[in-house]
Every structure is written in structure tokens, then in C-alpha cells.
Structure 1
């Protein structure tokens, strides 16, 4: 880049190329779940002479490699995470400026600071699914439950429960189902796709996963499904990731009560 401008480049066709124009498209407003999210547009401008498409492709790759999933730190803005969103529309020819323009989109995330990152442990199914995923993918991946930490590792998986329902099965039992969705962050699309396929195959082969510390409680794995059209990244409170799976288990209310501590005897001593 010869120059980077904010909002607009100077008038005239003599501006040294290639240059970029950075503009803010808006923000999410922020909430306790995900902090602030800003959307930026990066306009790339190259000369119409000497293979502009090849130069734009090269600049696009350089920007993606430099900014995507990178932690940006500064004394003023503290820290934020950049996510490269790709190209917007098609390349535009500007005869007046003697340039070819390509617009890119970049998300900048300011997570809400947390004193300590604590995984969700109140839902044993989610905890079990997180532990199972960690074992399936190995030490090269980090697996989180419920929400992304402020600074997630580059190769990481986030599991979140999105739906639950219970269906009566007789007078003293019911079938409990929980739908979970996974969000994936990786260095590139190849690693993301490989992890996605590995999880789908592992879930299908597993049939059931343990949800108890004693390995005597299991949840059946139902319909692991890849969502090819999703654009969710896990920073919003709602939405499904690129992988969803339903876990199911038949629960007896009597058995659940029997698992709780029982009163063995009552002793009363009067001091009247």
C-alpha cells in the first residue's frame, strides 16, 4: 500500500496507487454477552494498467493473512480481535480515477473483559460434549463451552446448547433431548473444514457419549448435521454454527430421585 485513507481518498487521478480507503459501516451496540462489534469496509484501489485483478487478489490475500483472527493491541483501544469477512460485491472500474476498486469487509470485536474464564459446568451434557470433542480432536485444538473467552486460541471449537425438550415415555419416564451447535475458528478454511468433517464422522461413529463421571450414563447421538449456509461465528447470543447435533437420553423420575441422598434416620433430643 502506498497510502491508507479514512472515508475518502483525495480528489484527482494522480493519487499514488495502490491505496486503500477505510470506512466504518456500523457497530452492534454491545451487550454483556459479546462486547462491541464494529464492521469496517476496506476499499482497495489499483491502477487499471498491468493486470489489476492479479494485484487485487494479491492485496486481498495479504490483508486476510495479516488481519484475520489476529489480536490487535494498542494503548488506546486495549485489545480487539479482527475477523476478515471477505469481498463485498464485484470489482468496480472507476474511469475518472483510472482505478479498479475492490471492497472488503472486516469485523473488529471488543470482547467484554472477564476477570476469569470459567467454562460452563452447570449442564453436564454440555460439559461432557466439550470433553468428548477435546479427546476427539486432540491437543492441537481448544474446546470451549457456552461462550468464547476474550482471547480464544486460533484453532478452537465452541459448543452451545440451543434447544431442549422433554417427551413423556410412560407414567414415570420421559425422553430428554438437547440440541447443541458448534462454532469453529481455525487458521484457514482447510483446517476448519477438516475439523468439521472429523467431528461429524466421530459423532456418527460414537453413537453415544458418556455424560457421567462414572461412565454409566450415556446420551445417544442423533443426526449430526453440517450447516453449509450459516455465517454465525459464536459471538452472538443466538444462531447456529456450522455443525449441530442432538443428544437424547431416557430419564426416569424415580431413578433420578433414587440417585439423591436419602434420609436414613431422625434423632431428636429434648432439653426442656
Structure 2
């Protein structure tokens, strides 16, 4: 994790709780005693990355307050402010690298620090840092279904939205939508056709929760009403059919995505070369 990302996080914490007066500290050395209200940030284990969300680093944020100046009640207030100000919020460091923090809950109960006598609790977050888009470039033919879905989404939402495919890119913008391919199947439809299905997950991220919810429902409604999406760059204008679409408004937007979509297309089966019958010999009976 870069120094710039650490510094950006500390600056954000200081802005969320002015009472700390900028005292957002690293884990203290043994014997060092904390003074006054502050927060301590511990950068803990790094866990395997998500294929689409980037690297994940666990961080623990511990606010400290004197028992005689608010105590447990003040911890509750600060904790609520931290969760509201960090959970699913896009942050960007001075070099343009974007990252997102996801709240995982409090890692332990309230306690009194033996050295300072102050009360504290630890809030656990996952920090997700997307990789450079270049790391996910795979040679080969682009997915025409993905291109069509991205184009349809851009038209439905307008130019102020960014629409991504497969992974969150480094420096991703908000508001934005990410589409991921999560499943594929193909089956015969009669003797001359194939039915292909692809399952997609859609992530809708905006800075305001109301905008996020409205956009999710808008996309689901439009997909259900229009029922088909034109394939981009096709000479004879072929279409993808919306077979099923649904939304889970409680799902984590950045990690899990709120929209589940199944697209279907029927195409002619590749022909099989069969020798032509040139002559027919008929016999009336057997000798």
C-alpha cells in the first residue's frame, strides 16, 4: 500500500471528526501514552484480492475519548460518523489512485486503554484498491455482448455516468456502473438452432444512496420494458433478449452488485457436411 493512500485515509478521518484536531496516528510504540481525543489506524492483514474489486487490506480504526468527556456515548457518535463517511465511499489520493472502504463491523467491545485511561473501540474496514486496467487486458476478440450491454447502459443513464466491464479500473469514477459476466450456457433448440445464455452482475455506485437505489430500479425497469438489446457493430442488426432481470437493493454495491441479469440469443447451428445422394437403386424383390 502506498504512502499516498495511507495519507489520504488519515486526512479523510481527520475531516470526519474535527474534535481530534488532526490527531490521526499510527500504532504507538511500546510505552508511548496517548493524550487527548484522537484516532489510531492499524493496517492489518492483506487478504487475497477479489477478481474485480482489487487488492483488499484490512484496517482497524480506533477512536479514543476520555470517560469524563462523553465516554461511551461519544464513541457511539464518532463511530457512526466514521461508518457514514467511509463505508462504500470512493477516495482518491494525490496521484489519482482510487480506493474504497467497506465497513465490516466492530472487532471488539469497548475497553479502557491501560496507559492513557481513555475509552476506545476498534472499527474494522476492508480497503479495496483496484489494479491498473492494463493488468486485465486479455488478447483476443472483445465480447460483443459486453459491448452491447455497456452501450445500452450508457444510453440509458447519460454521459455523466461511467460504465465499466469486468473489473473496477484503477482511478474509477463515480457515479458508475460495472457489469461482470458470471455465467454462460448453451443448449440445442430443435435441430437447427442454439440458445446461448449469459448471466451478468451489475454494480451501481453513486455518492448518494438515494441516487444509487433510484438508478438500480431504473435500469431493471428499462431492461424489463425494452426486453432486448441491439448487438453493437453487427451488419444485420441482431438482438439480445432479456430473459430475466432482478435487483437486491440491500446488496453491497461495490463488492457484490445489486442487479442480476440473464441475456439470451438464438442462432443457427453450424451446418454439418453430409454427402449428397446422387443415385437411388430400387429392387422389387430379393433373389
Report TM bin, short chain. Answer: 0.7 to 0.9
Higher strand share: 1
Tell me which residue corresponds to 1:154: 174
Tell me which residue corresponds to 1:187: 207
Closer/same/farther in 2, CA of residues 135 and 56 from structure 1, 3 Å limit: same
Report the Cα distance in structure 2 between the residues aligned to 1:21 and 1:11, rounded to whole angstroms: 15
Q: Quote the offset at 1:245 in angstroms.
A: 0.2
Does 1:224 find its partner at 2:245? yes
Tell me which residue corresponds to 2:164: 144
Question: What per-residue deviation string (whole Å, max 9, x for no partner) do you get for residues 146-172 of structure 1?
Answer: 222211112111112111111101111
Q: Quote the offset at 1:38 in angstroms.
A: 1.8
Does 1:246 find its partner at 2:266? no
Tell me which residue corresponds to 1:41: 60
Structure with bigger gyration radius: 2
Closer/same/farther in 2, CA of residues 222 and 112 from structure 1, 3 Å limit: same
Unaligned segments of structure 2, at least 5 residues = 1-19, 272-287
Residues 149 and 229 in structure 2, CA contact (< 8 A), matched pair in contact too: yes
Greater alpha carbon shift after TM alignment, 176-185 vs 24-33 = 24-33
Report the Cα distance in structure 2 between the residues aligned to 1:175 and 1:24, rounded to whole angstroms: 49
Greater alpha carbon shift after TM alignment, 31-40 vs 187-196 = 31-40
Tell me which residue corresponds to 1:112: 132
Report the Cα distance in structure 2 between the residues aligned to 1:220 and 1:32, rounded to whole angstroms: 27
Matches within 5 A, 1:3-152: 3-8=23-28, 15-28=34-47, 36-51=55-70, 52-54=72-74, 56-58=76-78, 60-61=80-81, 65=85, 68-73=89-94, 80-86=97-103, 88-89=105-106, 92-95=109-112, 96=114, 97-109=117-129, 111-112=131-132, 114=134, 122-152=142-172
Residues 75 and 120 in structure 2, CA contact (< 8 A), matched pair in contact too: no
Question: Structure 2-normalised TM-score?
Answer: 0.70
* Secondary structure at the counterpart of residue 201 of structure 2: strand
Report the Cα distance in structure 1 between the residues aligned to 2:64 and 2:153, rounded to whole angstroms: 44
Unaligned segments of structure 1, at least 5 residues = 235-239, 256-272
Question: Structure 1-normalised TM-score?
Answer: 0.74
Q: Quote the offset at 1:80 in angstroms.
A: 3.8
State how many pairs are aligned: 244
Tell me which residue corresponds to 1:258: none
Closer/same/farther in 2, CA of residues 71 and 88 from structure 1, 3 Å limit: same
RMSD: 3.5
Closer/same/farther in 2, CA of residues 215 and 209 from structure 1, 3 Å limit: farther
Higher helix share: 2
